[in-house]
Structure 1
C-alpha cells in the first residue's frame, strides 16, 4: 500500500471516529444525574457531623454523617459503641413545617450515615436540611445545609 492510500485510509477512519466516538454513551433526555453536596462539618457529642443532600432532578434526599473527630490515641483500646440520638429534618425554606425524623443509632468507630428524608420540590426552591446528634451528657448542636433546586 502506498503512502497516499495509507493517509487516505487513516483520514477516513478518523472521520468515522469524529462522527461516533468509540465508547460514547448517549443518555435518554429524561435521564438525570445525581449531584451530592455537603455542608460544613461540626462537632456534636465529641464526634464530627455533617449533613449532605443528594439531588436528582427535583428530588432531594438529606442524610447526616457521624464519624470520629480525630484518630484514636496510639495504644488506646478500641472505642466501645455508644448510643446516639439523631434528628434529621428537611424543609422548603419559606414553606410548611419541616419533616423531621428522630432515630437512635449505635456508633463505634466507622463513619455512619443516617438516611431517611426524601422530598420532591418545585424548581427554584431552596431546601434546608439539619442534622443533630445528642449523647448524654451532650445536647445536640445541629449542622445545617441549604441547596437550591435548579432545573
Structure 2
C-alpha cells in the first residue's frame, strides 16, 4: 500500500514540475488587434425622433448601423409621448456596389434602437455610403446619410 501511495505522489510531483517549467503565454504572443473606428453622419429628425447612420470600420471591413432615439426630453409637466410604431430601413454600398439592406417594423418606446445587418469588405480609397430612414404613420421617411472614404 505504501508503494502505491509513494508512486502516486511521485507522479503528482513530476506533473507539477512539468507545469511549472511550461512557458507562460505573454501579451506579446497575442495577435495584434485591428482598431475599429466609428464615424457617424449628421443627426436628422424623422418622425419626431433623432436619427443617425454610422460606419464601424475594422481593417478591410465595414459594418453600418442606424440609430433612432428621442430628439429631446419630454416637456416638463406635459404628457409622456405614446409608443410609436415605426418602419426602419438601413442600406449601404461601397463605391456603388450594394452591401445590402435591412428593414424592420418596431414600436419605439423611448429606448434607443440600433439597426445592424449591413456590411462587408472595403478597398482602399473606395467610398462607403450608408442611409438610414425612419417612417411612421404621420411622417414620411427623410433619410440621414453618411459618405466616408475607406481608409488605406
- TM-score, L = length of structure 1: 0.75
1:2-151 to 2 correspondences below 5 Å: 30-93=32-95, 95-97=96-98, 99-151=100-152
| Structure 1 residue 136: Cα displacement | 0.7
Report the more deviating stretch, 35-44 or 117-126: 117-126
| Structure 1 residue 122: Cα displacement | 1.7
- In structure 2, the CA distance between the partners of 1:126 and 1:27, relative to structure 1 (3 Å rule), is farther
- In structure 2, the CA distance between the partners of 1:54 and 1:40, relative to structure 1 (3 Å rule), is same
| Structure 1 residue 114: Cα displacement | 1.3
The number of residue pairs the alignment matches comes to: 126
User: Aligned equivalents of 1:120 and 1:98: distance in 2?
Assistant: 9
Report the more deviating stretch, 123-132 or 77-86: 77-86
| Structure 1 residue 29: Cα displacement | 6.3
- In structure 2, the CA distance between the partners of 1:150 and 1:29, relative to structure 1 (3 Å rule), is farther
- In structure 2, the CA distance between the partners of 1:27 and 1:66, relative to structure 1 (3 Å rule), is farther
| Structure 1 residue 27: Cα displacement | 8.3
- In structure 2, the CA distance between the partners of 1:68 and 1:62, relative to structure 1 (3 Å rule), is same
- Which one has the largest radius of gyration? 2
| Structure 1 residue 77: Cα displacement | 3.3
Query: Which consecutive unaligned segments of at least 5 residues does structure 1 have?
Result: 1-24
| Structure 1 residue 121: Cα displacement | 1.6
| Structure 1 residue 97: Cα displacement | 4.2
Q: Does the 8 Å contact 2:65/2:117 carry over to 1?
A: yes
| Structure 1 residue 31: Cα displacement | 2.1
Secondary structure at 2:97 match in 1 = coil
